[in-house]
Structure 1
Amino acid sequence: MKNILLLSCLLVSMNIISQRVIDLPFTPNPDVKWSTGEKEYFSEIWDTQVITNVSVPRLEVYEADQPNGTSVIIAPGGGLYGLSINSEGRDVAKWLNNRGITAFVLKYRLVPTGIDGIKEITDEGNTNPAKIGERVSPVLPLSITDGLAAITYVRTNAKEMKLDPNKIGFMGFSAGGAVTMGVTFNYSKSTRPDFIVPVYPWMTVIGNYTIPEDAPPMLVICASDDPLGLARPSATLYTDWVTSGKNAGMHMYSKGGHGFGMKKQQLASDDWITQFHAWALTENLTKPTLN
C-alpha cells in the first residue's frame, strides 16, 4: 500500500510539473553541427540545473490558470553554451503564471559541445576567452532566428490560448538577453515583441546596433557589481533608448552579481521580478491579479 501511495504521489507530481513542448520550425546551418545530443543535468560548476547541446529549438509552454492575456517568452542565459533552465527559465515562468501571465521558456539553439558544455565554457573562459567568441559567432544568428520563430508561434496561436496578440513580451538573461536584443534589432511587423526585458544582457556580442523606429517599451535589469562587466553596456542600452525618445525603464542594483535570476541572495536584486511586474502594470502591459 505504501508503495502504491508513493507511486500515485509521484505521478501526480509529474503531471503538475509537466508542460506542453512545442517544436519550432528552423532551417539548419550546414556549418553548425551537433555530435552530442541535448542534455539536461545539474551542473556543480554553476550550482544549478542546465541544458546543453540544443539543436532543435523548442518552447516549453506554461499556461496560467486564469490567463489575463499577457504572455512572455523567456530566454535563459548560459553563454550560448548552455541554458540555466530553472532560475532563468522555469522558475520565472511559474512566478508569472501566478500573476495570470502565460509564459513560454525558449530552448534556443546552442554552441555544439561535448557532454559537459558548462565545463567547456568555464575552461575556455579561464584559458582562451577569444575561443568563446569564435564558437558563439555562427550560432547567435540561429538563436535569434529561434526567438523570432517563438514570437510567430505565440502570435499565431494567441486567440486559441486566450492571449492578446499585442501583449507579447520577450525577456532574456545574459546570453538570452543577447537573443532578446537580437530579436529587437531584427524583427518584422509580424515578429515585433510588444515589450522587452533584457536582464543583465550580453551586449558586447551584439556589436553595433540601430534602434528601430517603432522600438518596443524596454525594462533593463542589471547589477553594478556584475563581474562580467555588463552594467555599463546595460546602462548604455537604456540611455540609447531614452535618447531616441523611446519608452524605457531600468533597475540597476548596486549588488547582485551575475546570473542571479530567481535565486535568493538576501539582496535588493532578489525583488527584480516584482519590479518588472509593477512596471508592466504601469505600462498597461498586463492586468492586476484577481484574488
Structure 2
Amino acid sequence: MKKLILLTCIFISMNVLAQKMVDLPYEKSPSVIWSTDEKEYYTDIWATEVITNVSVPRVEVFEADQPNGTSIIIAPGGGLYGLSIESEGRAVAKWLNNKGITAFVLKYRLVPTGIDGIKEITEEGYTDPEKIGRKVAPVLPLSISDGLSAITYVRTNSNKWQLDANKIGFMGFSAGGAVTMGVTFNCNEANKPNFIVPVYPWMTVMGEYSVPKDAPPMLVICASDDPLELAKPSTDLYSAWLTSGKNAGMHMYSKGGHGFGMKTQKLASDNWISQFYQWALTEEFIVTTNN
C-alpha cells in the first residue's frame, strides 16, 4: 500500500512538472545537428546549474500565486553553449513570482556540443576564441526565433495565464541578452515585447544594428568591470536608444563582473532586480498596490 501511495505521489508530481514545461513550435535547421542529448547538471567551472545541448525550444512556466497581469520571458546566458538555468533563470523567475509577475524561463536552442558544453566553451575561449564565433553564427538566428516563438505563445495564451497581452517583457542575460536584442530587432506586431531588459548583453555578437522605429522601452543593466568588456557595448546600446528618442534606462554598476545574475556578492549590483522592479513600476508595466 505504501508503495502504491508513493508511486501515485511520484506520478502526480511528474504531471505537475509536465504542465509547467511547454514545447514551442519551431522550424528545424538543415545545417545545425545535435548528436548529444540535452543535459542539466552542476558545473564547477561556473559554480551553478546549467543546461546544454538544447535542440527543442521550451518555456518553463512559473505562475505567481496572485498574478498582477505582467509577464516576463527570461533568457538565461551561457555563450549559446549552455544556459545558466538557476542563477539567470529559475531564481529570477521565483523572485518575480513573489511580486505577482508570471515568468517563463526560455530554453532556447544552443550550440551542439559534447557531454560538457561548459568545459568546451571554456577551453575554446583560451585556445581558439574565433571558433566560438564560428559555432555560434548559425545557431543565434535559431535562438532568436525561439524567443519570438515564446512571445507569440505567451500573448496567444494570455487569458489562460491571467495576463495582460500588452505587458509582456523580455529579459535576457549575456547571450540571452543577445537573444533579447535579436528579438527586438526582428519582431513584428504579433511577437513584439512590450519592454526589454538586456542584462550585461553580448552585443558584440550582434554586429551592426539600428534602433527600430517602434522600439520598446528598455532598461540596460551591466557592470563597468565586466571581464568580457561588455560595459561599453551596453552603454552604446543605451545611447542608441536615447539618441533615437526612445524610452531608455540604465544601471551601470562600478563592480559586479560578468554573470552575476541572482548571485550574492555583497555589491550594489546584488540589488539590480529590485531596481528593475522599481523601473517597471515607474513605467507602469506593473500596476500594484501591494508591493
Tell me the TM-score range normalised by the shorter chain: over 0.9
Once residues 9 and 267 of structure 1 are traced to their aligned partners in structure 2, the CA distance between those partners, rounded to angstroms, is: 42
Residue number in structure 1 paired with 2:152 = 152
Residue number in structure 2 paired with 1:244 = 244
1:264 aligns with 2:264: yes
Relative distance call for 1:17 and 1:244 in structure 2 (3 A) is same
Amino acid at match of 2:80: L
How do 1:1-291 and structure 2 match up within 5 A? Answer: 20-288=20-288, 290=290
Amino acid at match of 1:213: K
CA positional deviation for 1:267: 0.2
Relative distance call for 1:16 and 1:266 in structure 2 (3 A) is farther
Amino acid at match of 1:110: L
What's the TM-score, normalizing by structure 1?
0.95
8 Å CA contact retained: 1:19, 1:62 = no
Amino acid at match of 1:175: A
Amino acid at match of 1:25: P
3-state SS of the aligned residue for 1:34?
coil
Amino acid at match of 2:50: V
3-state SS of the aligned residue for 2:37?
coil
CA positional deviation for 1:47: 0.5
3-state SS of the aligned residue for 1:232?
helix
8 Å CA contact retained: 1:177, 1:200 = yes
Amino acid at match of 1:141: P
Once residues 14 and 237 of structure 2 are traced to their aligned partners in structure 1, the CA distance between those partners, rounded to angstroms, is: 41
Amino acid at match of 2:154: V
Amino acid at match of 2:149: A
What are the ranges of 5 or more consecutive residues in structure 2 without an aligned counterpart? Answer: none
Once residues 288 and 90 of structure 1 are traced to their aligned partners in structure 2, the CA distance between those partners, rounded to angstroms, is: 23
Once residues 185 and 161 of structure 2 are traced to their aligned partners in structure 1, the CA distance between those partners, rounded to angstroms, is: 27
Once residues 186 and 14 of structure 1 are traced to their aligned partners in structure 2, the CA distance between those partners, rounded to angstroms, is: 36
8 Å CA contact retained: 1:99, 1:289 = no
What's the TM-score, normalizing by structure 2?
0.95
Once residues 201 and 87 of structure 1 are traced to their aligned partners in structure 2, the CA distance between those partners, rounded to angstroms, is: 16
Amino acid at match of 1:192: K
Amino acid at match of 1:204: T
Once residues 91 and 289 of structure 2 are traced to their aligned partners in structure 1, the CA distance between those partners, rounded to angstroms, is: 18
Once residues 10 and 272 of structure 1 are traced to their aligned partners in structure 2, the CA distance between those partners, rounded to angstroms, is: 37
What are the ranges of 5 or more consecutive residues in structure 1 without an aligned counterpart? Answer: none
Once residues 213 and 89 of structure 1 are traced to their aligned partners in structure 2, the CA distance between those partners, rounded to angstroms, is: 30
Once residues 7 and 274 of structure 2 are traced to their aligned partners in structure 1, the CA distance between those partners, rounded to angstroms, is: 37
CA positional deviation for 1:17: 7.8
Once residues 161 and 112 of structure 1 are traced to their aligned partners in structure 2, the CA distance between those partners, rounded to angstroms, is: 33
Amino acid at match of 1:30: P
After superposition, give the CA deviation of every residue in 1:75-96 in whole Å (9 maximum; x if it has no partner).
0000000000000000000000
Once residues 241 and 106 of structure 1 are traced to their aligned partners in structure 2, the CA distance between those partners, rounded to angstroms, is: 25
3-state SS of the aligned residue for 1:169?
strand
After superposition, give the CA deviation of every residue in 1:226-260 in whole Å (9 maximum; x if it has no partner).
00000000000000000000000000000000000
8 Å CA contact retained: 1:170, 1:197 = yes
CA positional deviation for 1:288: 2.9
Amino acid at match of 1:199: V
Amino acid at match of 2:129: P
Once residues 19 and 168 of structure 1 are traced to their aligned partners in structure 2, the CA distance between those partners, rounded to angstroms, is: 21
3-state SS of the aligned residue for 1:233?
helix
After superposition, give the CA deviation of every residue in 1:172-226 in whole Å (9 maximum; x if it has no partner).
0000000000000000110110000000000010000111111000000000000
Matched residue count: 291
Once residues 7 and 222 of structure 2 are traced to their aligned partners in structure 1, the CA distance between those partners, rounded to angstroms, is: 43
Amino acid at match of 1:231: A
Once residues 62 and 172 of structure 2 are traced to their aligned partners in structure 1, the CA distance between those partners, rounded to angstroms, is: 16
